[in-house]
Amino acid sequence: MDAKVGDKGGCPVMHGGNTEMNNNPTKWWPNALNLDILHQHDARSNPMDQDYNHREAVKSLDFQGVWNDVEKLLTDSQEWWPADWGHYGGLFIRLSWHAAGSYRLGDGRGGAGTGNIRFEPLNSWPDNASLDKARRLLWPVKKKYGNAVSWADLLVLAGTVAYSNMGLKVFGFGFGREDIWGPEIDINWGNDSEILAPTEERVSDLDDANSMYNPLAASHMGLIYVNPEGVDGNPDPAETAKYVRMTFARMAMNDEETAALTVGGHTVGKAHGGLAADHVGPEPAAAGVEAAGFGWADPGFDGNANTEHTSGLEGAWTSNPTKWDNGYLDLLFKYEWVVKKSRAGAWQWEPIDIAEEDKVPDATDPSIKHNPMMTDADMAMKVDPIYREICKRFHKDPAYLADTFARAWFKLTHRDMGPKANYYGPFVPTEDLVWQDPVPAGPADYDVATVKAKIADSSLTTAEMIATAWDSARTYRGSDMRGGANGARIRLAPQKDWVGNEPERLTKVLGILEPITAETGASVADVIVLAGNVGIERAIKAAGHDIAVPFAPGRGDATDEQTDADSFSVLEPYADGFRNWQKEDYSVSPEELMLDRAQLLGLTGAEMTVLVGGLRVLGANYGGSKHGVFTEREGQLTTDFFQTITDMTYKWVPVEEDGTYGLQHRKTGEVKCTATSADLVFGSNSILRAFSEVYAQDDNEAKFVRDFVAAWTKVMNADRFDLA
C-alpha cells in the first residue's frame, strides 16, 4: 500500500489501488508487448445486458422520429451555449465531421464508427474544442430513444440532418454503428512528444508531405487534418495544399472529394476566436470535476458568439452561414485576400475592399457586420492549380458541387462501416458504391459434402489448402470492416499479385478449385474456405481426433468492377506472423507486426496463440519454411509447438547472420529446430507463455483442437455480416 498526498497537499492516505492511467505497471519494461490491445472493450466494461444485440435493437428505432427530433434541436438555442444565428447547424456538422475525420485508410482505424470522440484523447484534442457541448445538446434525443440509437450513430446523424435542414439534398444515412465504452488503446495517434508539436516530429522531409509517418492522417497530434494557419503556423497556401492533399488521401479522398468537402464544410458555420488561447480553460481530460466533463471553459464568454473561443480563428466563410449555397466560392474568387491576425492572434485571410452586402451578420447581433475569413487551407483551393480548376467547375455548376459534396460527406461519415450489410434504416441509398466493397450474394443451396469430397480427391496438399484459405481471410480489418474471404478478391488484382500470397502457389490452387465451383454451383469464395476446412479436418483426424470444422455457405464472388484496386493496396500484408513471414526487415519486430494483425482480425491473446501454434505444425508457413515447425509430425494438428517451446531441454541460440534462432539441446548441442522471434515470443513473453503452457498440458490436447477450430472459424467468418 502506498501513502498518497494530493497535488494540492493534504494528509497521506493508505491507497493501494493503481487508479491513475499514467502509472502503467509495465512502464518499467518498455519492450513488453501491449497485449491489452487484444482485450479492450471486454464484457466487464460494457454496461449493456449480455444478450443485448445492437443490430437487433436498431431495427426497432423510430428512424424518422430521431431525424425530426435532431432537426428540432437545431433552432432550440440553449442559454448555457447559445446557437450562432440561432442555429446549431455549423456546430453539429463540425461534431460529425470531427467524429468521422479521424479515420485513416492505412490501417482502417479511427473514424466515427464507435463513437470514440466521447473519450480521451479525442475529446481533449485542441481541434475538438467545444464539441463536448454539441454532444450535450444531443443528449435529450439519446435519452429519449435509448438503446435503439447509439451515440456513434447520433453524432454522425446530427451533421447530416443539419445539412439537410440548411438546404442540401443529402445522399443518405445508414444507422448501425455500435458504441464502445472506453477509448481504443490499439490506435497509434502518433509518437509526438506534445500536442501540436512541430511538423518535423511526424514528417521526415518538410518539403515532402508524403513523408509523414504512416499510417497517420493528420499533420499534428491534436488536429484532424492540417494546421488551419499554415504549415507550422506559417501562412503559405501552396505549401498547405500539399499537406491537405496528403492528409485527405490518407482518409480515402481524392482531389475532387477533398475540394468538395473543403468548400461544403466551410459553406456553413463559423470559427471562434474571441480571446487569446492562454485565457481558455483546460481540456475536458484536465478540467476539474466541477466542469462536468465540458472543459475548454471561456472565462470571458458572456453568451455572445464574439466572446467565445474555440480555434482562435474568428469569423464565418460566407455571407449566409446557416444556408447551403454557393457563397463560399463566390467570395473566394470575387476578392483578393490578405493575411491578418484574429483577435486571438491566429493567422487568417480576409478580403480586400469587400462590399457591404458581402459582409457577414454578427452571430449574436445581426445589426453588426463582419468581414468573412478564410483559413490557409481555404486559400489552398484558390492557389493550388488542381484544386482551383475543380473549384472553378463547382462555381459554374452549383448542382455538381452539391452532388459531389453530398456523396463525399456520405463517404466521410460511413467509410469505416464496411459493406452495406451493416447499414440500417430507410435513408440508406439504394446505389452501390465501389468504396463500400460490394459483394454479391453467393449461392447457399449447393451440396457442401460433394464440394468437400471433390476437394479432398484433388491433388492439393493440406498445407496448400490451409495457406490459401488463410491468405484469403487474413486481410480482414475489424477497424473498418474491410477485407476478408467473402468476395474471393484474392483472385483479383491487386491481391493475386501480392508477394505475401505466393502468386505461383495461389495460381495453382485456384486452377484446381475454380473447376470445382463450376461443377458444383458453389462460389469460389466458399470453395477456398471449404478447402481450408478440408485440410484442417484431415490434420485433425491424423492427430487422432474427430472434430468437424463449422462452415456457413453463402459467400459471393466480387468482380473487378466491384473492386477499388487502389484502396485495396493498403490491405497488402507486409508481414504475417501467423505464417512466419515478412517481406523484408522492418524497424518493428515480427511479433509486434503479428500482434497488430491479430488485433485487426479481432483475436484475443489465447486465439492468437492457438492459431500460431496450430498453423506451424500444419506446415502453413510461407514458402514451406521450417521456422517454428516444432514437430516431427508436420501436417497433424498436435500440441507439439507448445510442448517444444516450454521444454527446458532446449536453449535458444541466436543465429546472427539472419536474425533467426536455433533450438539447441543443452547437453548434446544438437539443433533440433529453427525459429523466428515470432515463434519464441510465445515462450519468452510472460503472458503468451501462460497461454502456451495451457496448450502444452497433457490434459488439453482435445481443448487445443477445439480452440483452434473455433479461432479458425472466427477468422473465416469475420466478414460474414449476413450471419450476425
How confident is the model over 52-98, as pLDDT tens digits?
Answer: 999 999 999 999 999 999 999 999 999 999 999 999 999 999 999 99
Q: What angle do CA 406, 411, 413 make, to 5 degrees?
A: 95
Q: How far does Cα 204 stand from its chain's mean position?
A: 24
When the pLDDT of each residue in the chain is averaged and rounded to a whole number, the result is 94
Over the range 443-474, which residues count as b (16 or more CB within 10 Å of their CB) and which as e?
beebebeebbebbeebebebbbbbbbbbbbbb
pLDDT mean over 625-635:
97
| DSSP state letters, 600-615 | HTT--HHHHHHHHHHH
Helices (H) and strands (E) in the chain, counts: 22, 13
Element (H, E) at 257: helix 255-265
By percentage, how much of the chain surpasses pLDDT 70?
97
Amino acid at 592: E
**Active-site residue, 414 included:** no
Could you list the beta-strand ranges (E) of 283-441: 315-316, 337-341, 347-351, 360-361, 369-370
The pLDDT, as a whole number, for residue 28 is 67
By percentage, how much of the chain surpasses pLDDT 90?
88
The pLDDT, as a whole number, for residue 278 is 67
550: which DSSP letter? P
Amino acid at 413: T
Give the separation between CA 640 and CA 34, rounded to whole angstroms: 26
Element (H, E) at 256: helix 255-265
Q: Model-level pTM?
A: 0.96
Question: What distance, in Å, lies between the first and last C-alpha atoms of the chain?
Answer: 46
Cell 466480387 -> residue: 558
Q: Is the confidence at residue 279, as pLDDT, over 80? A: no
118: which DSSP letter? G
Backbone region of residue 442 per phi and psi (left: phi > 0; alpha: psi in -120 to 50; beta: other values): beta
The pLDDT, as a whole number, for residue 14 is 67
Per-residue cell: 479: 477497424
Give the separation between CA 458 and CA 461, rounded to whole angstroms: 9
What's the pLDDT band for 7 if we cut at 50, 70, 90? low
Please check whether residue 437 is in contact with residue 418, taking contact to mean a CB–CB distance below 8 angstroms: yes
The pLDDT, as a whole number, for residue 487 is 98
CB atoms within 10 A of CB 190: 18
Give the separation between CA 567 and CA 103, rounded to whole angstroms: 14
Over the range 201-227, which residues count as b (16 or more CB within 10 Å of their CB) and which as e?
bbbeeeeebeebeebbbbbbbbbbbbb
pLDDT tens digit string along 530-588?
999 999 999 999 999 999 999 999 999 999 999 999 999 999 999 999 999 999 999 89
Q: Is the confidence at residue 104, as pLDDT, over 60? A: yes
Please check whether residue 663 is in contact with residue 650, taking contact to mean a CB–CB distance below 8 angstroms: yes
Please check whether residue 719 is in contact with residue 486, taking contact to mean a CB–CB distance below 8 angstroms: yes
CA 526 → CA 43, 469, 532, 533, 553, distances in Å?
32, 10, 10, 10, 6
Cell 452561414 -> residue: 321
What residues have CB less than 8 Å from 497, skipping those under 6 apart? 503
pLDDT tens digit string along 463-479?
999 999 999 999 999 99
Please check whether residue 311 is in contact with residue 271, taking contact to mean a CB–CB distance below 8 angstroms: yes
Q: Which one, of 516, 552, 479, lies nearest residue 716 by Cα?
A: 552
pLDDT tens digit string along 240-258?
999 999 999 999 999 999 9
The pLDDT, as a whole number, for residue 411 is 98
581: which DSSP letter? E
CB atoms within 10 A of CB 367: 6
pLDDT tens digit string along 373-423?
999 999 999 999 999 999 999 999 999 999 999 999 999 999 999 999 999
Over the range 52-70, which residues count as b (16 or more CB within 10 Å of their CB) and which as e?
eebeebbeebebeebbebb
Please check whether residue 481 is in contact with residue 721, taking contact to mean a CB–CB distance below 8 angstroms: yes
Amino acid at 410: F
What's the pLDDT band for 276 if we cut at 50, 70, 90? low
Cell 492528409 -> residue: 247
Q: Is the confidence at residue 1, as pLDDT, over 50? A: no
Cell 459553406 -> residue: 267
The pLDDT, as a whole number, for residue 5 is 46
User: Quick check: helix, strand or coil at residue 15?
Assistant: strand
pLDDT mean over 428-436:
97
Q: Which one, of 266, 187, 225, 229, lies nearest residue 98 by Cα?
A: 225
Cell 470444422 -> residue: 549
Please check whether residue 266 is in contact with residue 328, taking contact to mean a CB–CB distance below 8 angstroms: yes
Phi, psi of 577 (to 5 degrees): -60, -25
Q: Is the confidence at residue 2, as pLDDT, over 50? A: no
Q: Is the confidence at residue 148, as pLDDT, over 80? A: yes
**Of 15, 39, 54, 98, catalytic:** 98
Q: Measure the CA dihedral 292/293/298/303, to 10°.
A: -60
Cell 459531389 -> residue: 404
What's the pLDDT band for 19 if we cut at 50, 70, 90? low
Per-residue cell: 183: 477509448
Q: Is the confidence at residue 20, as pLDDT, over 60? A: yes
Q: Is the confidence at residue 214, as pLDDT, over 70? A: yes
Amino acid at 142: K
pLDDT mean over 170-182:
97
What's the pLDDT band for 42 if we cut at 50, 70, 90? confident
Q: How far does Cα 273 stand from its chain's mean position?
A: 31
pLDDT mean over 439-451:
97
| DSSP state letters, 643-681 | HHHT-TTEEEEEETTTTEEEEEETTT--EEEEE-HHHHH
| Alpha helices, H only, 485-639 | 503-520, 524-542, 565-568, 590-600, 605-617
